Structures are given as structure tokens and as C-alpha cells.
Amino acid sequence: MPLGSYLRIDCGHILGLYIMLPSSRSLLALLALSTTLGAGLLAGPALADMTRSFNLNGATGLIDMPSGDAQNDATFSFSMANIGAMTRATFSFQFSERVSASFRFNTWRDWDAVIPGGDKETDRSIDLRYQVLKEGDFLPAVTIGLIDMTGQGLMSSEYVAATKTFGDKLKVTAGLGWGRLGSQGGIGAPFGERPALTSTDYGKPNIDQWFRGDAAFFGGVEYKVNDRWTVKAEYSSDAYLMEDDERGLIDRKSPLNFGLEYQKGQNVRFGVYSLYGSEVGLVFHLILDPKTRATGGVMGAAPAPVKARPSRSADPDAYDGGWVTQPDAGALLRKNLAKRLGADGIAIENLAFTAEKVEIRIRSGRIDAAAQAIGRTARALSNVMPASVEVFEIVPVVNGVGASKVTIRRSDLESLEFAADNATALRERVTITDAGPVPEYALGDDGLYPKFRWSLKPAVRMSEPLKGDVGGRLTASYDLRPGLVLSGSVFGRVYGNGDDANPSGSSLPHVRSDGGLYAENGDVALERLTLAWFARPGENLYSRVTIGYLERMHAGVSGELLWKPADSKLALGAELNYTKQRDTDGAFGFGEYNYDVVTGHVSAYYDFGNGYLGQLDVGRYLAGDVGATLSFDRVFVNGWRVGAFATVTDASDAALGESGYDKGIRISIPLNWALGNQTKNSLGLTLRPGGSDAGAKLDVDGRLYDSIRDYHTGALDPEWGRVWR
């Protein structure tokens, strides 16, 4: 049985892919993932301390047991482990110096070999760890952890683990576990009995179980032979009751485990283990550092130097503003600027000028850092604009709408180009404000609109866990005028197992849980066909109206309004949607479900600084339930983004099903981080424990906050160092 999940991959905002990781060919899948991220990973910069190793669960630990260690801040890892009839695939992220989380897929082959029937061949779980004490000269590192904290109890455990390092080679770990980690050699239940979970508990935090029931000690040692080789030994407190006593998947003879691990390069770690006196375990870890580019930097042409003007006393005629009266001045300036900026993939939307000031509206198509696009534009202006123009106003445009206005004085640009810490000095003199309306006297370009773009690329699309299809995706967009975009995509199935999909048993409207039927019934399917209008109804206000076939399962109209001052940490938004559920054949009909709904949310966004973003949405969801979604993301200067989200609504416990409310972890990796090329495309994954109807939101393209924020102070300031590149 293959291992899979909902993994949505967004390349830019156009291409959507979905991938499966087959458990029976785990090493091949991992090789494919490594290749996707780029060969540069194997030669990338080292993590600060590779002795903070991972266990078979893909979390920081020994062999099968956790440890008190924490990974270096922002460490991201993907792990694949095989233990007899079991396979585990895990994504882990060190969200801060003390907090880390993991999302894991477990499969058990030959699940019904002893007990016929049953449908738990797979399980998905979310873990959370908090390091309460960092290691010191005398005190150990101490971590409290929750394993499978919202699942169905198959892997649920809690623990407290302490780890102490002796010298630079030896580490010793001791801990106390509950749940599965309290099933071997228990010492009693110090905090009371552990209540059993019922079906109404599935998909929600199993708080009543935490640290309840029998507790048991575990421990182990790891010894670093050299920079490449590490040996481990542990005493495990997991009796594997389900896999051994109930299902007969393994024959657990001993609580002792032994292992040998090999570090290959800076980012890859392998391990082989003797487990429970009867099994051989294999593991592969891919370890990435989002703070450091795998290739060391983004390749691209060097910037043109700033052209310094002669002094006013040396050449007073150069500062004469009479040139603005020349009838061909605008066309000539625009032509020269377009030639310079075109080399960097920057298009000019509008150009407006006086003798002392110029406003240029730009659309960056290739440079991933907004600050760098602004810097390249300022350099081009210094080379083209007459000497009398002192003020450069640069307005980045997103979906035809000005996102902000960056004002740079030309004299500052000239004087600071070769100064020490010139980026900081320039930022202190630059202002970032609301873009304002397009000046009435601005010069547009008749050649920019309308503009047609299309692409045809291979794609893999998941329909539900363990099921998906391989095929091709045709995407196209037609920019009718600034802010008005007609776009769509069609997916064609070539091969897959999406036709094995089963109908949902959810008592809520099947707004998400019938996702597999859409793959089964639509070999060639219209995924999206929309007309979107983006506008600026007022100062610090942005709007979007989208109408058409909004996503694979729903069509209708979606409207959004966002208030976001350029220098504010806070943003407020509101969205209102009316949708009808589409037929599963991927055509234009609606009769199969005959379900329509009005949904909407009010949203608050807050930038906590240092790349941490929070979002709260309150409103009505696709299944008609009412509640709130809390999201928290960490965004890095180089484009990496890792976050988590969880929803609670008024849907009854009986209606939730085993997936519970909508929740998950999302990851976005910029392709230039791995490849070193100038591109704005990214690889995005959204990992959910299942396709829940409760708390399901509309998946409409072009939501405003993320694209607008890229050109506001919260996003520009951290990357401002690239303004001179």
C-alpha cells in the first residue's frame, strides 16, 4: 500500500502539482525529492551542530525514543524510515529555538494478516515539542513532547526527556513516557488513569489523555566516532502492543535497540538499526537550513552602477528643467528605461515625471526579492533621468494594483553607493508609504495590455490520502487591462489510482471529503476558470472580486477587501463568497450535489517581527459551520515559509468524522534557494491529517495579504540588504 497525503505544490501562482511518496519504494521517493530540491544541497553549508540527531520518527532523538535535545533554530527535515512491515515519513521543523513540530505518515503493510478487515493501514499524526531547559555546564537539556496529539490514539504518547553531553562525543538520555511510551516496564500511573478515545474524540487534541496512564522509563546513549559515524544504543519503553500482540506485524523480543548512522555531506544522514531483537530498521534524513541558501546565492547579472550627476556649480545647465516641455521626452525616457529594466525582467506599467520628481510603476517578473527590484529600478533611473530629477518614487505593482510607494532621493543614492553599511544608511533615508492613485499625466504602454500567457507542464494530483493521478496541466491567463485577469487551468489524467476513491461517510455536506470522486470521474477536468478584478478603492485599501469556476470543487463569486497601511504590523480583511458545488466530472455542471452556500470571514493579520506572522479568521465555512481558524507562519528572507493552522467550528462531534476539524502544516520553498536561478516560483506543500468537511475554506487564487505584504515594510526591511545587488 503506498504512502501518500494531500501535498499541494504551487509553482508561483500558476502551476499546481501534487506528489505521492510510495512506501514500498521509499528510497526512490527520497531520491526524487532530493533531486527536486537540487544537487546543491549535498554541498551546501553545514548546520551548526550535526550531533543533534533524529530518530526513526523523524524527530530529535535516539533510535525509536526521543531526547532532550532541540535542533538548531529553523532546521527543516524530511525523514523516511522502514521497520519491518511499518513505514514512517515525517516532516519536522524547528519553529524557534525551543519549539518544534512534526507531521508524520505511518503505514502498516499486511494490516489484516492476523485480524481480517479493518481500515487503519495508514495513520497521520502531529507532534509538538518544547525544550524547557537548555543544556548548560552541569544541567541537561530537558524537553516535553506530545506525539500524535490530535490523532486516533494509535501512536499517542507524551514524554519528558533529558539529555547531557559529555565532551564532544558522548550523549546520554533518560526520560519518562506515557501512552505508547509507557507500555514497556510501567511504574504505575502517577497522574491517574488514561481514558480511552472514542470516535467523537478523533481529530481533536486528546487533552484528557495527556500524561495519564502508566508511565515508563526509557534511555540510551549515542557516541560520535568521528564527523561521519555515530553509534547508538537505547532501552525502549514502547511495547508495540498493537503491531506485535494484536496484529502480528512484528515479533518484539527485546526492549533493546542498537544502531549505526552515517553523515553524508552536510544535509543527508543514513541509519541502520537492530530493533527489538527481531527487526532491521533503515532511515534516511534530508536536513535543510532555510536560513542559508543551498547554492550560496542567487545567480544573475551584476547591477549597473549608479550614474553620478555633475555638481550644480560645475554644470548648472544640466539642472535646467526645460526638458519636460519637449514633446518626445516621455516616450524617449520610457524607451531607455524599459531597455535597462527589461534585462532584469522588470516591466514598466506607468511613468510620470516633473522636472524634479519621477514616479515609475513597475512589475517584477523574475527577481524574487522586492528590495532588489527596487534597487535595480533606482539605478536605471539614475542612468536615464535628467539631472534635475532629484526624487525617485518607485511603485511596485501586483495584479495591476500599486502595493506601496518607495521614495528615494537621488543624492542619497549617489553618495551612499560605496559607503560602509550602505543598505542601512539608505534605508534610514527612504520612506515607504501608500502607493496612491496613478497620476493623471502618467504615460502608459499600449503594448502591455492585453497580454496572454500559457504553459503546459507535467503534474501529479492527489485526490485523497493514498490516491492520486499523474498527468498534465494546461494553464493560461489573459491580462485584459491593469487589474483585470482572465485565467484558468485544465488537468488531464494519464495514469493513477484516483479511480479507487471511496464516497465519504461524513454527515456534513461533502464539501471536501468527496475529493477522491472528482479524480475518479474526471479524467480531463476544468480545475479553474475565473475572471478576477483587483483594485484600490481608497488609501491603504485593496480589493479583489473573482467570479467563475473558483476551484476544483466549487464555483461562484468571491469578494475580498483588505486594509493594510504600508508601515503597519496590523492588517484587517473581510471576504464574502457565494458558491455552488460542482459536479465530479470536471465539466460545467452543478446538478450532482445541488448544494450552494454563502461563506465569509473577517480576518486579522499581525506581523510579530523576526519573520513570525499570525492570522485569525472568524466566520462561516463551506459546510455551513461557523468558527475560527488560527494560523501562524515563519517567513525567511530568502523566501522560505513554514507554518501551521487549526480550525474550530460549531460542527457537532458526531459530524466531524475521524479527520476532525481542518488543520495542518504548510511549507513553501523558493526554487531559487535550491537552484540558484532568478525565479519567483516556489514549491509549496500543505499537509493535512485528512480531508475534513468541518472548517473547510474556499481555495480561491489571488488572496490579497501575502502579495501586498511583500512590498510593505515588514517584508522589505529584512531583505533590504539586497537593494544594492
Residues 585, 544 share a domain: yes
Q: Which of 273, 288, 303 is the last residue of a domain?
A: 288
pLDDT, one tens digit per residue, over 21-69 is: 333 333 333 333 333 443 344 433 333 343 689 999 999 999 999 999 9
Average pLDDT, the chain: 86
- AA letter at 672: N
Residues 471, 384 share a domain: no
Pairing mode of beta strands 570-581, 346-353? unpaired
Q: Which residues lie closer than 8 Å to 702 by C-beta, 6 or more apart?
A: 13, 399, 532, 534, 544, 546
Pairing mode of beta strands 157-166, 141-147? antiparallel
Let me know if residue 36 belongs to a domain: no
- Other CB atoms within 10 A of residue 540 CB: 15
Measured CA to CA, the distance from residue 440 to residue 350 in angstroms comes to 11
Residues 635, 664 share a domain: yes
Let me know if residue 268 belongs to a domain: yes
Supply the pLDDT for residue 653: 73
Please compute the mean of the pLDDT values over residues 82-95 and round it to a whole number.
Answer: 91
pLDDT, one tens digit per residue, over 173-231 is: 999 999 999 999 999 999 999 998 876 666 678 888 999 999 999 999 999 999 899 99
Tell me what percent of the residues of the chain surpass a pLDDT of 90: 64
Tell me what percent of the residues of the chain surpass a pLDDT of 70: 86
Residues 275, 405 share a domain: no
CB 47 within 8 A of CB 94: no
Let me know if residue 224 belongs to a domain: yes
Nearest Cα to 705, choosing from 603, 600, 627? Answer: 603
Pairing mode of beta strands 391-398, 357-364? parallel
The reported pTM is 0.85
C-alpha cell belonging to residue 538: 481608497
Measured CA to CA, the distance from residue 426 to residue 405 in angstroms comes to 15
Q: Which residues lie closer than 8 Å to 642 by C-beta, 6 or more apart?
A: 76, 93, 95, 290, 633, 634, 665, 666, 667, 668
Residues 409, 360 share a domain: yes
Let me know if residue 512 belongs to a domain: yes
Crossing angle of helices 370-384 and 329-342, in 10° steps, is 140
Strand partners, 350: 361
Q: Which residue has the higher pLDDT, 97 or 116?
A: 97
pLDDT, one tens digit per residue, over 374-406 is: 999 999 999 999 999 999 999 999 999 999 999
Q: Which residues of 225-239 are buried (b: 16+ CB within 10 A; e: fewer)?
A: eeeeebebbbbbbbb
Q: Which helix (H) or strand (E) holds 337?
A: helix 329-342
Pairing mode of beta strands 157-166, 357-364? unpaired
C-alpha cell belonging to residue 76: 527543516
Residues 328, 208 share a domain: no
Please compute the mean of the pLDDT values over residues 249-253 and round it to a whole number.
Answer: 88
Percent helix, percent strand, percent coil in the chain, to nearest 5: 15, 40, 40
Residue 628 backbone phi and psi in degrees, to 5: -145, 150
pLDDT over 70 at 536, yes or no: yes
Q: Which of 394, 414, 447 is the last residue of a domain?
A: 447
Distances, alpha carbon 604 to alpha carbons 3, 136, 323, 622, in Å: 36, 40, 48, 20
| CATH number of the structural domain spanning residue 82 | 2.40.160.40
Please compute the mean of the pLDDT values over residues 96-125 and round it to a whole number.
Answer: 78
| CATH number of the structural domain spanning residue 617 | 2.40.160
pLDDT, one tens digit per residue, over 578-632 is: 999 999 999 999 999 999 999 999 999 999 999 999 999 999 999 999 999 999 9
Which three-class secondary structure state does DSSP give residue 101? strand
pLDDT over 90 at 423, yes or no: yes
pLDDT, one tens digit per residue, over 571-580 is: 999 999 999 9
Let me know if residue 692 belongs to a domain: yes
Supply the pLDDT for residue 279: 92
pLDDT, one tens digit per residue, over 289-319 is: 888 766 555 556 789 999 999 999 999 999 9
Q: Which helix (H) or strand (E) holds 320?
A: none
Residues 186, 92 share a domain: yes
Q: Which of 288, 305, 328 is the last residue of a domain?
A: 288
C-alpha cell belonging to residue 351: 511613468
Q: Which helix (H) or strand (E) holds 708?
A: helix 704-709
Count of structural domains, the chain: 3
Supply the pLDDT for residue 659: 60
Residues 137, 284 share a domain: yes
Q: Which residue has the higher pLDDT, 559 or 242?
A: 559
CB 471 within 8 A of CB 491: yes
Measured CA to CA, the distance from residue 379 to residue 441 in angstroms comes to 24
Supply the pLDDT for residue 332: 95
Which three-class secondary structure state does DSSP give residue 43? helix
How many helices (H) and strands (E) in the chain?
A: 11, 33
Please compute the mean of the pLDDT values over residues 129-141 and round it to a whole number.
Answer: 95
Measured CA to CA, the distance from residue 664 to residue 643 in angstroms comes to 9
Strand partners, 471: 459, 493
Q: pLDDT category, 657, cuts 50, 70, 90?
A: low
CB 562 within 8 A of CB 708: yes
Q: DSSP letter string over 515-571? A: HHHHHHH-SEEEEEEEEEEEEEEETTEEEEEEEEE-SSSEEEEEEEEEE--TT-SEE
- Other CB atoms within 10 A of residue 327 CB: 6
Measured CA to CA, the distance from residue 146 to residue 207 in angstroms comes to 10
| CATH number of the structural domain spanning residue 407 | 3.30.300
Supply the pLDDT for residue 300: 67
Let me know if residue 30 belongs to a domain: no
Residues 251, 231 share a domain: yes
pLDDT, one tens digit per residue, over 257-295 is: 999 999 988 889 999 999 999 999 999 999 998 887 665
Let me know if residue 205 belongs to a domain: yes
CB 582 within 8 A of CB 590: yes
Range of the domain at 165: 46-288
Given its phi and psi angles, is residue 90 left (phi above 0), alpha (psi -120 to 50 degrees) or beta? beta
Q: pLDDT category, 638, cuts 50, 70, 90?
A: confident
Nearest Cα to 516, choosing from 465, 443, 458? Answer: 465
Residues 482, 353 share a domain: no
C-alpha cell belonging to residue 471: 498527468
Measured CA to CA, the distance from residue 348 to residue 395 in angstroms comes to 10
User: Which stretch of 77-86, 295-304, 319-328 has the lowest confidence by average pLDDT?
Assistant: 295-304
Distances, alpha carbon 119 to alpha carbons 1, 111, 113, 198, in Å: 12, 9, 13, 16
The residue with cell 466531524 is: 656
Residues 441, 490 share a domain: no
Residues 440, 459 share a domain: no
Let me know if residue 721 belongs to a domain: no
CB 288 within 8 A of CB 269: no
Q: Which residues of 101-137 are buried (b: 16+ CB within 10 A; e: fewer)?
A: bbbbbbbbeebeeeeeeeeeebbbbbbbbebeeebee
Measured CA to CA, the distance from residue 597 to residue 473 in angstroms comes to 29
Measured CA to CA, the distance from residue 37 to residue 40 in angstroms comes to 8
Measured CA to CA, the distance from residue 44 to residue 674 in angstroms comes to 9
Residue 197 backbone phi and psi in degrees, to 5: -85, 145
